[in-house]
Structure 1
């Protein structure tokens, strides 16, 4: 009997060994005619095993020989492949015409009730109407009309300009761009047979059909249509514009004799830059208070060295000439967070808190949010877990904590979300933090990820109420990431308040590329804190510095006594994150209109000057931080020598960061800079153009070029 058991055990082990030996790792890329597809799903048929493509369209999945892999993506035909001897399987998905082709019964739009459009350009409303429709903006020419092309089934060329119809009248692309978005009642995009059956050969490249309210342009000749649209500009205001931004006054110059210490919290948010990019790309004026210079500067990565000691970040300083005032100087302070290998990152306990209220129904809100979250899900490991909480009129959990390797389950839960109702933001936050606390991982990454347009209108809604709620929840040790979506009614002020008070960070997702950057490429820095409550305090030497000012960080400034107070909240630093701060300095002996008169000698108080002569020191900078799970801060100190280099010899990092700050100050119409030349900003940015494999810095230059005539 004993021998029989041993033989049975041996056979069982042999079967397991053979099964494991047959399992193999399959990799590849999923694409369509337009290129790689992030967020596509790969599943092993008849199992729960799934994977999702990353921001480059690449995937990895384990399967056995003979298994069937199913490749799918919304709007595209699913494909299957049988696993054979090959370990690399690349798939090109095609459009699902049954899903995407529209069936129409009239040549121009039917009458349907539409709400006011929250777009600045009528061409924006066409985007996303069907697969193969491309709307391209010309960033090299200020306020230029976008170009539109519809890719046909037999071609992937981007030069197929469609036929335009306005209220039944043929029109030109530049005329379409002149129509006020709020006058548009309905839009249809016709392709292939649907287009040629109604419009003959003229519709061979597709047809874009617009119907206006009250048929404003019906029965007009081409000449009459042109005359009626001539007085309109190519850019129309957004209606209604209910976006909220906190008002602030930029930092002024201060004297080290009366204010020797400058203290502030680091800021790793970069929402302001992507929001500004959205305004410029849409041909809109940028609201002054939407411009937070430090967030613009910190959108970009710089070439700072990795830390070499036990501290989680390195400190890097540089002093050079001010590009907008050659008499002044620019001091750059840069931090580089330690790059933690993915395998060494702690397990994550994540709660997706998703706004599904009625205001989230537009294409650049909930639909974009779903695609964004797929990118994040792709980064999760088996030891990570995710729960999903949604809120509209009330809050509820739609997915209990689920392992990161059950990607199909998580993605299916996301796909089932729909928008509607009012917005009980406070109830959602309470429930999300409750679930995060119940599943808290000691020494892990515990985080709520809030995705919303910030339009809270029921329950805890005021910024003060939200601030108190988040400050209370912060004590639980759960971090917060805020993802902002949409336009027109976007509530930046609420999002910034939540992130600032919740040991968190804040990003504005204006397109899927930004989602790829923040949630994919920079996943470790965005989601894993290596230091929290990071504060900086600088003492300037009055022998060398007549006056100084911190550029940006207006809402991150702290009192001098807050620096050593561990009860005061400050910003967090993520894995491999960089943080940059710039000071403008007026050296001693320089005549400047920005230096205020010093107060008279005091009668009752005498301030004794230090007799020591620190002629070689510009300043002393101190840093304080806590470990992610710590309560006591650690201090670092570094001396900044009074050694300035000419701007032409400065690092690329100083040149480019100064150019970004310069552009931000220009957008804010700063009264503290006299040179606001776009050409000079572009020249300096080009001189600092390096370490730009992703093209973000080149994109910045295009944005500056696009605003030359407007600012």
Structure 2
């Protein structure tokens, strides 16, 4: 009897233990070299909880059942699934994938982060030149409005940086700091802004609050909202797909994803729309002459037949695409070349400067350029960005089919149909209230003050329903701040107190923006005054609180000189509180991304 009672007691105990769960720990190594692997993602397949291995390759994760399955995933390695089988310690040796080097991200070392892993490269043979390239970013500094009262930049709606940063973090790596363009991260998300009224194509909204990473400073938001149009009112399209089919586009995440993406776009086309397909590898060729959007199966069949191989004659392909676009030009229509590539141009005109000049020349014909970036390991982000900027178009990085759906289906109008072109923003700061200001991001979009009124100077384009948001960090007058540099008193200039002699009229700044109608040549001006009355962060719009969270993550990922008291937990909590309706789940995805970035950095230090 005692034995039966003991056995029943043991069963109850074990049952409670299993129900409560326990921790499983272990070390993850490379099977061949036995080297520990940092940043391996360990996921409980049943609970969906994920952890990353630390700097010693070690992990610890909770399970609720001894039969749970753990999945170990790491870029460059085969995924490995392990059934726990009531064990509390499980060591795993991952096997490298037998793939080409250019399918993986290369190892880089950042002097400020010492030997922090920002990518892994594995393969049987090193291949010269296979490295991702990003345009160097020199961060905007704080500026004294006495010296420079005007801040001028080209409005832009590119969002490529966010999806590229996501790709890095989801593969267990930190992004190259120059891959983090904060304005593009902010503009990845849609914001709830009222549509413009009185027939105007663009509406402007401003807000002022305290900067979350330094509450002695202020944060000013400037957001432009382009008008929405029903699909029936969208102009007829003359599209030319320019598809890179060179050898660098082999493999998953490249040409196969390009095919799937463009077929999704084909489904959005109407009978009045036309599509041609140009491909380039060692040379450029026409795969499909301009075809009506009603012949969807014919267009899709041509896309299905594409195969990758050869070198990359990008310049020849671009020239041929513009020739076809000009041949079938639709007056007052949407004439556009859509380039799908990793940007690795290595035959012909391959320098950024020559490609920039080629695109700038062709953009004057009324044909815009949309750039879709694919691939990893040799992504030439710097070239893709240049082409889009000079081609009166936009740039998106597509790392999975969900991102393709976002760019080419959910935001179809905003990606392909321009409602305002050459959009420029200029802010004049009042030195009676502003000691110094800093534009957060937009380093590659800055303009000279006189460019604002010069209609020959190109600005950014805004598509149907798109929003453009910019943030300024402001040091109010009278605040002592380490962010503001000092110089010796000048002998030949008036001192600040003598220069700031205007009355305090309650105006912190005046925001102006210029734009042209899609077919127009003369710009129109709108402006709005920002009152010098900051609102508590908890009382401003969900949009501003969320945008500030995205900006704060960008500051941390860049290890910015201006990050100040930026904090992962702080920005994550604010993002959760301002997530809003989030019907597509993009904001929830951002929160998970920020959490993963936080845990990844903790594991690496």
Per the normalisation by structure 2, the TM-score is 0.81
2:569 alignment partner in structure 1: 679
In structure 2, how many angstroms separate the alpha carbons of the residues matched to 1:666 and 1:175? 32
2:557 alignment partner in structure 1: 667
In structure 2, how many angstroms separate the alpha carbons of the residues matched to 1:135 and 1:270? 31
Q: Determine if contact 1:348/1:384 at 8 Å carries over to the other structure.
A: yes
1:568 matches 2:568: no
1:247 matches 2:136: yes
1:141 alignment partner in structure 2: 51
User: In structure 2, do the counterparts of structure 1 residues 699 and 590 end up closer, same or farther at CA, with 3 Å as the change threshold?
Assistant: same
In structure 2, how many angstroms separate the alpha carbons of the residues matched to 1:274 and 1:177? 30
Runs of 4+ residues over 2 Å off in structure 1? 120-124, 134-145, 159-164, 170-185, 233-236, 238-241, 598-612
Of residues 421, 426, 438, the one that matches 1:549 is 438
Give the number of the structure with larger relative contact order, counting CA–CA contacts within 8 Å between residues 6 or more apart. Answer: 2
Helix, strand or coil at the partner of 2:408 = helix
1:285 matches 2:168: no
Of residues 513, 518, 536, the one that matches 1:628 is 518
In structure 1, how many angstroms separate the alpha carbons of the residues matched to 2:45 and 2:164? 19
Of residues 641, 653, 656, the one that matches 2:543 is 653
In structure 2, how many angstroms separate the alpha carbons of the residues matched to 1:585 and 1:459? 46
Helix, strand or coil at the partner of 2:195 = coil
2:475 alignment partner in structure 1: 586
1:437 matches 2:320: no
2:225 alignment partner in structure 1: 336
In structure 1, how many angstroms separate the alpha carbons of the residues matched to 2:295 and 2:139? 48
Which shifted more, 474-483 or 564-573? Answer: 564-573
User: In structure 2, do the counterparts of structure 1 residues 680 and 182 end up closer, same or farther at CA, with 3 Å as the change threshold?
Assistant: farther
For structure 1, the residue ranges without an aligned partner over 5 or more in a row are 1-119, 125-133, 146-158, 165-169, 186-232
Tell me how far 1:626 sits from its aligned partner: 0.9
Which shifted more, 240-249 or 690-699? Answer: 240-249
1:360-379 CA distance string (max 9 Å, x none):
11111000100000110000
Q: Determine if contact 2:240/2:338 at 8 Å carries over to the other structure.
A: yes
1:577 matches 2:487: no
User: In structure 2, do the counterparts of structure 1 residues 431 and 317 end up closer, same or farther at CA, with 3 Å as the change threshold?
Assistant: same
Helix, strand or coil at the partner of 1:524 = helix
Helix, strand or coil at the partner of 1:707 = helix
User: In structure 2, do the counterparts of structure 1 residues 543 and 511 end up closer, same or farther at CA, with 3 Å as the change threshold?
Assistant: same
In structure 1, how many angstroms separate the alpha carbons of the residues matched to 2:91 and 2:118? 12
In structure 1, how many angstroms separate the alpha carbons of the residues matched to 2:132 and 2:119? 16
User: In structure 2, do the counterparts of structure 1 residues 622 and 330 end up closer, same or farther at CA, with 3 Å as the change threshold?
Assistant: same
- Residues 336-485 of structure 1 aligned to structure 2 (within 5 Å): 336-485=225-374
User: In structure 2, do the counterparts of structure 1 residues 446 and 121 end up closer, same or farther at CA, with 3 Å as the change threshold?
Assistant: farther
Helix, strand or coil at the partner of 1:708 = helix
Of residues 87, 107, 120, the one that matches 1:237 is 120
Tell me how far 1:428 sits from its aligned partner: 0.3
In structure 1, how many angstroms separate the alpha carbons of the residues matched to 2:402 and 2:195? 27
Tell me how far 1:140 sits from its aligned partner: 4.6
2:208 alignment partner in structure 1: 319
Larger radius of gyration: 1
Q: Determine if contact 1:544/1:615 at 8 Å carries over to the other structure.
A: no
In structure 1, how many angstroms separate the alpha carbons of the residues matched to 2:184 and 2:72? 42
In structure 2, how many angstroms separate the alpha carbons of the residues matched to 1:601 and 1:161? 66
- Residues 123-138 of structure 1 aligned to structure 2 (within 5 Å): none
Tell me how far 1:172 sits from its aligned partner: 4.5
In structure 2, how many angstroms separate the alpha carbons of the residues matched to 1:606 and 1:276? 45
User: Aligned-pair RMSD on alpha carbons?
Assistant: 3.0
1:445-476 CA distance string (max 9 Å, x none):
00000000111100010101111111111111
Q: Determine if contact 1:178/1:235 at 8 Å carries over to the other structure.
A: no
1:637 alignment partner in structure 2: 527
In structure 2, how many angstroms separate the alpha carbons of the residues matched to 1:163 and 1:598? 55
Tell me how far 1:686 sits from its aligned partner: 1.1
Tell me how far 1:435 sits from its aligned partner: 0.6
User: In structure 2, do the counterparts of structure 1 residues 293 and 604 end up closer, same or farther at CA, with 3 Å as the change threshold?
Assistant: closer
Tell me how far 1:639 sits from its aligned partner: 1.1
Of residues 571, 584, 591, the one that matches 1:701 is 591
- Residues 33-432 of structure 1 aligned to structure 2 (within 5 Å): 140-142=50-52, 172=82, 178-181=94-97, 237-239=120-122, 242-432=131-321
In structure 2, how many angstroms separate the alpha carbons of the residues matched to 1:598 and 1:556? 28
Per the normalisation by structure 1, the TM-score is 0.69
Q: Determine if contact 1:620/1:639 at 8 Å carries over to the other structure.
A: yes
In structure 2, how many angstroms separate the alpha carbons of the residues matched to 1:137 and 1:398? 48
User: In structure 2, do the counterparts of structure 1 residues 143 and 527 end up closer, same or farther at CA, with 3 Å as the change threshold?
Assistant: farther
Helix, strand or coil at the partner of 1:285 = coil
User: In structure 2, do the counterparts of structure 1 residues 171 and 261 end up closer, same or farther at CA, with 3 Å as the change threshold?
Assistant: closer
For structure 2, the residue ranges without an aligned partner over 5 or more in a row are 1-37, 58-67, 74-79, 84-89, 102-115
User: In structure 2, do the counterparts of structure 1 residues 318 and 454 end up closer, same or farther at CA, with 3 Å as the change threshold?
Assistant: same
Tell me how far 1:163 sits from its aligned partner: 13
Q: Determine if contact 2:45/2:69 at 8 Å carries over to the other structure.
A: no
Tell me how far 1:488 sits from its aligned partner: 0.7
Which shifted more, 597-606 or 504-513? Answer: 597-606
Tell me how far 1:483 sits from its aligned partner: 0.3
In structure 1, how many angstroms separate the alpha carbons of the residues matched to 2:46 and 2:390? 38
Helix, strand or coil at the partner of 2:512 = strand
2:9 alignment partner in structure 1: none
In structure 2, how many angstroms separate the alpha carbons of the residues matched to 1:406 and 1:507? 27
User: In structure 2, do the counterparts of structure 1 residues 184 and 443 end up closer, same or farther at CA, with 3 Å as the change threshold?
Assistant: closer
In structure 1, how many angstroms separate the alpha carbons of the residues matched to 2:500 and 2:141? 26
In structure 2, how many angstroms separate the alpha carbons of the residues matched to 1:703 and 1:370? 27
In structure 1, how many angstroms separate the alpha carbons of the residues matched to 2:72 and 2:426? 61
In structure 2, how many angstroms separate the alpha carbons of the residues matched to 1:137 and 1:267? 40
1:619 matches 2:509: yes
Tell me how far 1:181 sits from its aligned partner: 3.9
User: In structure 2, do the counterparts of structure 1 residues 306 and 386 end up closer, same or farther at CA, with 3 Å as the change threshold?
Assistant: same
In structure 1, how many angstroms separate the alpha carbons of the residues matched to 2:511 and 2:488? 26
Q: Determine if contact 2:239/2:274 at 8 Å carries over to the other structure.
A: yes
Tell me how far 1:179 sits from its aligned partner: 3.2
1:107 alignment partner in structure 2: none
